[in-house]
Structure 1
Amino acid sequence: MLQNERSRSPECAREKLDQYVECMNGETTLRPAARQCGVSLDTSFHLRHRLMALVENDSYGQLSGIAEEDETFFHESHKGDRKLQNPRKRGARSQRKSRNTKTEKKASVPLIPVMVACDRNHHVIDAVLKKVSTEELQSQLEGQILAGSTLCFDAHLAHEHLAEKLSLTAKTLVSSSGERVKEGIYHIQTVNAYHSELKRWINGFFKGVATKYLQRYLGWKRYLKTHTFSIEGFLDQISIHWAYQHIT
């Protein structure tokens, strides 16, 4: 049973969960979703995360043809962590500091690497990484790109032998030298556009998310990017998980 819904029957909780699907279109924040479904803000949070968790690790087909891979970075965040100090007190102290100190503090926040790979048919693979390395990228992409495909990426030490290890054709672009397109068709503009869209959605629309939930939001965004959202379609997707849970 959902948290903050303990007094309700399981049927009622399930009804609220089904109702909340309407708010999973990626265009509704927690407070409007709570009002729309007639639940508390806390319950809105738990409903969203329960539904996100169901599609977090779903895959929607291998990449094929011309694929692109690149990394982007998010600042480490503990948003919503009630164990941290009162943010008002923390903010009051920061207001007494100089602008330079604020800038230095922001720059010192750890960066969390996120890998995104996609093809020209809107298939997406993503992962939060511990670090950008050949080994970690290989582990995330192994078996996810159809044999015979071409993988485009920029010149980075971690990418140097990546395509070889994955048995793919490599097309390396030296972005630092202004190389944007190779042979007229090979580029990483598709994946970089996805990075921009992802950051606008997470940092702009949602005002950031806690790092511990970042992979969950990646999975939700991947679903929205791969499907034309509909309540029926999302219910069909998550019903597969519910059926599997009851069978096992």
Structure 2
Amino acid sequence: METNSFFELLRSFNQLSSLQLERAQEHLRHHMQQDLLRQVLSERHSTLPVCPHCHAKHVIHWGQSRGLLRYRCKECGKTFNQLHGAALTRLRHKEKWARYASCLSEGMSLRKAARECGIDLKTSFRWRHRFLRYALTTNASKLSGIIEADEVFTPESFKGSRHLSRPPRKHGGQGQGRVPLVPALIALDRYEHEADAVLLDKSYQQIAPALQPLLSRGSILCTDGNQSYIQIAEEAAGIIHKRLIMSEHHRVGDEVYHIQTLNNYVSRWRGWMQKFQGVGTDYLKNYLAWFRVYNQEPNSAKSWLSGGVKILNNT
């Protein structure tokens, strides 16, 4: 559109009624969301992809389908579109993905996101966990410097399950003290890198495989009184271990070694989780990953959408 025509269009807004302005706003928002998706897809496929079937590089364009570019492999002859292998593959209503990505960046509940995007509650649930496949890939692979590690416990929950592996609990009687607690290991360093893992228990056999690969040589590991960390630090070469036992009022060592950064992170995570009114244990790792991405920069609709269309190799 020419510049004069564009400014003439802007001046015409003064003649619109409130209802017409509202409809124009919705129309603009719809096109902006579509344009954001086009931007992300163009950045995602600036070069020809590798064939996901035979991993050959000899790939050619093969038209379009439902608004997505298609490709054909010259080696195996199979075709695929530009979202093959991404978290959002085979999902419908692409024009609403950008708005839903914005809901994730704001940490909205399922029902609120469904109302915001005009989709069904089941669709909102499916989209959330598709986007969270990308969040799961953001786990730090290495931590360095001063590393803080501890377990966080949440009540075991079968929320959303159609069949229980135990008799249902009832209010009153035994109370909540008998509800099993599920531990999750959280480890982070002072460079804002974070990694987590849901465990079966807090034993050495569960913590060591999750924590040892994260430790970098020369790091200082700060933990609480759990004795499992003593053996983990001894087996990891070049790791200094600082134990901070709260029951003995030993919170800070040498004015720099503590786990207060981790405690603050866990406190904010628990407060953020309250809006969801409990989550099923099977999905706990997804919500830990969501909060990790929620705290990173940039946390925007475009960053979530870019993650959703990214090829994922470990999901």
Tell me which interval the TM-score lies in, with the shorter structure as reference length. Answer: 0.7 to 0.9
- The answer for the alignment partner of 1:52 in structure 2 is 132
- Identify which of 252, 258, 268 aligns with 1:187: 258
* Greater relative CO (CA pairs within 8 A, separation 6+): 1
TM-score w.r.t. length of structure 2: 0.65
Asked if 1:200 corresponds to 2:271, the answer is yes
- Quote how far apart the aligned CAs of 1:121 are: 1.4
- The answer for the alignment partner of 1:29 in structure 2 is 109
- Quote how far apart the aligned CAs of 1:172 are: 0.9
Query: 2-side partners of 1:82 and 1:143: how far apart?
Result: 36
- Identify which of 128, 134, 146 aligns with 2:204: 134
* Structure 2: unaligned runs, 5 residues or longer: 1-65, 67-89
Equivalence map 1:150-169=2 (5 Å): 150-167=220-237, 168-169=239-240
CA contact (8 A) 1:68 1:187 kept: yes
Worse overlay, 150-159 or 218-227? 218-227
In structure 2, the residue corresponding to 1:143 is in which secondary structure? helix
Query: 1-side partners of 2:141 and 2:228: how far apart?
Result: 25
- Identify which of 123, 128, 144 aligns with 2:193: 123
Letter in structure 2 aligned against 1:212: D
- In structure 2, do the counterparts of structure 1 residues 12 and 173 end up closer, same or farther at CA, with 3 Å as the change threshold? closer
Letter in structure 1 aligned against 2:94: R
RMSD: 2.2
Asked if 1:72 corresponds to 2:143, the answer is no
CA contact (8 A) 1:149 1:169 kept: yes
CA contact (8 A) 1:73 1:111 kept: yes
- Quote how far apart the aligned CAs of 1:35 are: 1.0
- Quote how far apart the aligned CAs of 1:19 are: 3.3
CA contact (8 A) 1:77 1:210 kept: yes
CA contact (8 A) 1:124 1:226 kept: no
Question: Alignment identity in percent?
Answer: 36
- Quote how far apart the aligned CAs of 1:12 are: 4.0
Query: 1-side partners of 2:135 and 2:207: how far apart?
Result: 22
Worse overlay, 18-27 or 70-79? 18-27
Query: 1-side partners of 2:212 and 2:228: how far apart?
Result: 15
Query: 1-side partners of 2:130 and 2:271: how far apart?
Result: 23
Larger helix percent: 1
- The answer for the alignment partner of 2:19 in structure 1 is none
Which string of whole-angstrom CA distances, capped at 9 and with x for unpartnered residues, describes residues 94-123 of structure 1?
3xx4xxx2xx33111110001100111111
Query: 2-side partners of 1:159 and 1:61: how far apart?
Result: 19
Query: 1-side partners of 2:188 and 2:288: how far apart?
Result: 13
Which string of whole-angstrom CA distances, capped at 9 and with x for unpartnered residues, describes residues 169-200 of structure 1?
11111211010100110001111111111222
Which string of whole-angstrom CA distances, capped at 9 and with x for unpartnered residues, describes residues 20-62 of structure 1?
1111115211111101111011111111111112322333452
Query: 1-side partners of 2:150 and 2:284: how far apart?
Result: 17
Query: 2-side partners of 1:240 and 1:144: how far apart?
Result: 24
- The answer for the alignment partner of 2:248 in structure 1 is 177
- In structure 2, do the counterparts of structure 1 residues 11 and 154 end up closer, same or farther at CA, with 3 Å as the change threshold? closer
- The answer for the alignment partner of 1:4 in structure 2 is none
